[in-house]
Amino acid sequence: MGPRSVPLLPLLLALLGRPDPGRAESCDLQPVTAKPPVTLSYVTSTVPRGCVSNSSMGTGHEVHVLSAKWSKDSPVPLEVTVTPRAGVCSRLAVLVLFCTDCSAYIKSQCSNLIIHTDAHLIMDTVRASDPGPPMVSKREKLLDWAQDVYQGITSYSELQDPHKVRLHLGEDAHSPPVCIPQEHFNATLHLETEVLFHGMKGCSRSDAQSTRAAHIIQLQSELSSPITEVELKLKCPSNSVGDQMLILQSKANFTWRLFLECSIQLLVSGNYIMPFSPEMLRGEHLPDTEQDLIAKAFEKNCSVIASYSAIPASTHIIMKILEHETVETPVATTPLDTIQSQDLPRQVLQTLKPWKCTDETMEIVIIRSHLEPIKDVVNITLRDISCQAEKNATHFMLKSPLSHCGTSLEGRDYANNELILSLAKDAVLRSVRVGFQCEIPRELFLRLFPTADFKAPQTELEINKEVFVQASMRWMDHPADLQLKECSLSAAGREPVVLVRGGEAHGAGVAVLESPTSTHGRKVWRFRFTYTIPEGHKPFTTARLTCKAGLQNDTIFEKCLEVTVKDGWRPLNYRGLGLAAVLGITFGAFLIGALLTAGLWYIYSHTREYPPPLGTPVVGWGRAHACPLLGCLLFPSGPSPQVSQRPLPSICTVLARL
């Protein structure tokens, strides 16, 4: 059997950090015809067709015409709010509402508002008079009818699936003289509407291996759009599970203000802000095409696109995940603050995403100030409670191998575990579990070790000393196809030194070592080498260790590791003697002085003679005196002094007596 072939396009896209559109081919988005899994509404001032004019300024009324229709029967009445400019109803206003026997509720501060409508008006609607519905049978004739009756039009707007409408009274002399409807008209000056979105699509993978669902909202904004910030409110049923993902795609300069009332994993482009965090959080770059967004959801282990909604740029979005199958069972009453305290840790941690995985370790770093909304966090562990986070004044930190602490590697390219937060309040200790998935990057990892046990990686390379290298990578598809192509050591201005090529040692001082058995799609290569300085070359201070791994189709994964080169004979960064060196030198000097003194005393004690009795003439200090050694030291040359006629004790006698 020949070698297994691997598609080249998905691998190249993985290298570029882009989703593989091929993964979305099995998911064909179709309109949601049954009961939708979510309801979505958004606020916009762009209408399908509309226009403005100043033709009403010469009349006794300003006239605003609204023509509304729905894709489906609206479950709630249309709410229309009419507000005067500056809060003063100074001019008579006419509202024409055509909606084919819909239900509507109209609110206004102006009691003299004239309303023409064919809607069924709900009680408490304020109006001055009831002139009757518009005398037209077709929507296309509405604008002409209003023009004929009132001799001028202030604004005209066609609305699709409106839920709420806010109409601002007022006329603009700079408007065109004639109201000619235009497609996708920007009615920002006089209209704002909340639209019920019914263009939702969905699909699921034919080879689905999980029930994880994704909800995708894509903002389709034009380059000239002034909107750069959107507020999103998300509501969920009380018994909803957290195995869902919300993907929010927009322009890179967009800021999302998120108000979430449930636990859901987020994937956001641009920047976003959460109520519990004063800091702006940076999102990530997301593709802007339908197929690429679906592929991105599948990369995040989602098998169902529960809802895909492409909407125009908006300042407010309201989304509600619906509850389908409800079983009525007695439910114990839980205080609201308890429910919020249980959901808040999930929201905070799913937003922060403090976990980071390599191909063999999981590392969690949480800034303690980010946990202030939760309060009372005294300890954090993983699913295995023996794996406790270290803590200091600013951080919680935890690092463990992927094979420990209850971590499971179910699925593709993900590690699953739980964070258990221990909360202490009013002398009561309780715990909150937050499940999470940590993505394992599909890339080559390179590490340098000082010993053969391959523990405690470092980035320091010592000349003439053996070091150990490990290259590793997870490739869940076909790990056996991965091969170590080449490893080399290079420095600025030097030719690279090849260490390994084709999986075999290359050059003196290099040896390929036996690698551990591959597990969970992880392939490991190991070798050792000793770096020596060639004759005539000076040592350099930094170098780059580069390794390349690849597949049989020549797809290459490359990793570089910057290392500091240390000369064992000439230590780098000499900064003077340490305390140990100073103490050693002091003790050595003391020992040498003591030995020298002892030697001199030994020589003196074996060469001296006792002095003659007092009164005997003594020759002054000369070389032939009874103390020749001291005499030589005191008078190394010159004539001997004359004999003294005065009986004086010799210096040797004085020294001996001392």
pLDDT tens string 509-536: 899 998 887 777 788 999 999 988 777 7
Radius of gyration of the chain (CA): 43
Q: Averaging pLDDT over each range in 1-15, 93-107, 132-146, which range is the top one? A: 93-107
Q: Where is pLDDT greater, at 8 or 531?
A: 531
Assess whether pLDDT exceeds 80 at residue 4. Answer: no
CA atoms within 13 A on the CB side of 549: 26
Q: What does the pLDDT average to over 585-598?
A: 91
Report which of 404, 402, 371, 403 is spatially closest to residue 387, judged by C-alpha positions: 404
In this prediction, residue 620 has a pLDDT band, given cuts at 50, 70 and 90, of very low
CA end-to-end span of the chain: 104
Note the pLDDT tens digit of each residue in 527-569. Answer: 999 988 777 777 778 889 999 988 776 678 888 998 988 876 5
357-405, pLDDT tens digit by residue? 888 889 999 988 888 887 778 889 998 888 999 988 888 999 998 888 9
Q: Which amino acid is residue 55, in one-letter code?
A: S
d(CA 568, CA 380): 42
* Assigned token pair, 366: 């949480």
Residue 17 confidence (pLDDT): 44
Sign of the torsion formed by the C-alpha atoms of 81, 84, 85 and 86: negative
Bigger pLDDT: 431 vs 612: 431
CA pair distance 113, 128, nearest whole angstrom: 5
| The two three-digit tokens of residue 135, written as one number | 């005398």
Q: Is the pLDDT of residue 328 over 60?
A: no
Q: In terms of Cα–Cα distance, which of 225, 221, 247 is closest to 234? A: 247
Task: Return the sign of the alpha-carbon dihedral for residues 370, 374, 380, 384.
Answer: negative
Contact 502, 488 (CB under 8 A): no
Does residue 132 surpass a pLDDT of 70?
A: no
Residue 99: what pLDDT?
87
Name the least confident of 31-40, 414-423, 464-473, 595-604. Answer: 31-40
∠ Cα 218 222 228 (to 5°): 75
pLDDT at 146 over 50: yes
The C-alpha atoms of residue 534 and residue 532 are separated, in whole angstroms, by 6
Check whether 332 has a pLDDT greater than 50: no
Mean pLDDT of 277-298: 86
Answer with the residue of higher pLDDT: 253 or 574: 253
**Are the beta carbons of 547 and 563 closer than 8 angstroms?**
no
Alpha helices by DSSP H, 16-140: none
CA atoms in the 13 A half-sphere facing the CB of 172: 15
Decide: 491 and 543 in contact? Cβ < 8 Å.
Answer: yes
Enter the pTM of the model.
0.51
Cβ–Cβ < 8 Å for 54, 175: yes
Mean pLDDT of the chain: 79
Between 649 and 146, name the one with better pLDDT.
146
Amino acid at 299: E
DSSP string, 523-548: EEEEEEEE--PPTT----SEEEEEEE
The answer to whether 134 touches 142, Cβ cutoff 8 Å, is: yes
Other CB atoms within a 10 A radius of the CB of residue 315 amount to: 15
- Reduced to 3 states (helix: H, G, I; strand: E, B; else coil), residue 515 is coil
DSSP 476: S
DSSP code per residue over 299-323: HTT--EEEEEEEEE--SEEEEEE--
Cβ atoms 526, 468 nearer than 8 A: yes
Highest mean pLDDT among 81-90, 119-128, 191-200: 191-200
Q: What is the pLDDT of residues 34-62, one digit of tens each?
A: 778 888 999 998 899 999 999 999 888 89
What pLDDT band is residue 617 in, cutting at 50, 70 and 90? low
Position 208 confidence tier, pLDDT thresholds 50, 70, 90: low
Q: Give the full edge-to-edge strand order of the sheet including 361-367.
A: 355-357, 361-367, 395-401, 390-391
Q: Which residues contact 201 (CB under 8 A, 6 or more apart)?
A: 29, 30, 31, 32, 305, 307, 308, 309
SS (H, E, C) 631-649: HHHHCCCCCCCCECCCCCC
The pLDDT, as a whole number, for residue 338 is: 43
Instruction: Assign 240 a pLDDT band (cuts: 50, 70, 90).
Output: low
- Is residue 23 within 8 Å of 298, Cβ to Cβ? yes
CB-based contact 479:585 (threshold 8 Å)? no
Instruction: Decide: helix, strand or coil at residue 580.
Output: helix
Look at the block and give the residue holding tokens 């080559």.
444
DSSP state of 518: P
454 phi-psi bin (left φ>0, alpha ψ -120 to 50, beta other)? left
Per cent of the chain over pLDDT 90 is 25
State how far the Cα of 542 lies from the Cα of 460, in Å rounded to an integer: 9
- State yes or no: pLDDT of 185 exceeds 60: yes
Q: Which helix (H) or strand (E) holds 594?
A: helix 579-607
The answer to whether the CB of 377 falls within 8 A of the CB of 388 is no
Phi, then psi, of 600 in degrees rounded to 5: -65, -40
DSSP per-residue codes, 409-444: --SSSEEEEEEEEEEEETTEEEEEEEEEEEE--SS-
Q: Which of 130-144, 332-346, 622-636 has the highest mean pLDDT?
A: 130-144
pLDDT of residue 241: 52
Helix ranges (H only) for 281-374 are 290-299, 336-352
| Rounded CA separation 198/177 (Å) | 36
Query: What is the distance between the alpha carbons of residues 28 and 51, in angstroms, rounded to a whole number?
Result: 38
